[in-house]
Structure 1
Amino acid sequence: MTKFLISFPGSAMNIADEDMAAVSEAAHAVIREAKNAGVYVFGGGINGDVAPLMVAADGTVTNETYPQTREFDGGFCVLELPSREAAVLWAAKIAEACRCSQELREFGYDPES
């Protein structure tokens, strides 16, 4: 089984305030479905209210990020699935629930993880 990251940036969710409760319930329903199917690993949303930190190998902490991740926000989940085709189907379910396209990435195999 392979782990897949399914994610979207916060800016992709252009949802009217009055529709947000329905979107939230739909998204939670898909996650419950993934849990019931035994494919859910973990997921959540990046807390945009808490600034990221850069932690160096020597323990030095600075208030910065890598330039390419300055806008890293939104939601994600990791699912463990038998194939890329199955991952595409789950990503489509999440896209429908969240009303925005999802990015799909495959984790490389690591026997230690």
Structure 2
Amino acid sequence: MTKYLISFPSDAMVVADGELPAVADAAHAVVAQAKAAGVWVFGGGIDESVPPVLVDGDGTVTEGTYPQTRRIEGGYTVLDVPSRAQALEWAAKIATACRCAQEVREFAYDPES
């Protein structure tokens, strides 16, 4: 099986006032389906109120991040599925629940993970 990252940036999800509970319920239903199917690895949203930090090999902590990743935000799901086609099917379910398009990326195979 292959792991896939399915994600979206925060500003892609535009929800009308009062509809967020319905979106959350729909998203949680997809999570439950993925868990029941045995493909769920991880999911969650970045807490954008907590600033990122860089941790160096010697343990030094510096506020900020790499310039190219300063805008990592939004929601992330990692699924372990047998095919790209199945990853795209799950991405469509998540897109419907979250009411926004999803980006799909494949993790490189690592026999140790």
TM-score class, shorter-chain normalisation, is over 0.9
Pairing 1:54–2:54 present: yes
Report percent identity of matched pairs.
64
TM-score normalised per structure 2: 0.97
What are structure 1's unaligned runs of at least 5 residues? Answer: none
What are structure 2's unaligned runs of at least 5 residues? Answer: none
Counterpart residue number, 1:71: 71
1: CA distance, partners of 2:63 / 2:3: 31
The amino acid that maps onto 1:90 is: W
1: CA distance, partners of 2:35 / 2:79: 9
The amino acid that maps onto 1:49 is: S
1: CA distance, partners of 2:30 / 2:87: 13
CA RMSD after TM alignment: 0.7
The amino acid that maps onto 1:26 is: A
Corresponding residue pairs, total: 113
Output one character per residue of 1:57-89: Cα deviation in whole Å (capped at 9) or x when no partner: 121111011111111111111000000000000
The amino acid that maps onto 1:60 is: T
Matches within 5 A, 1:74-93: 74-93=74-93
Name the SS of the counterpart of 2:64 in structure 1.
coil
Matches within 5 A, 1:25-64: 25-64=25-64
Counterpart residue number, 2:16: 16
Q: Which stretches of structure 1, 4 residues or longer, exceed 2 Å deviation after superposition? A: none
The amino acid that maps onto 2:30 is: V
Name the SS of the counterpart of 2:59 in structure 1.
coil
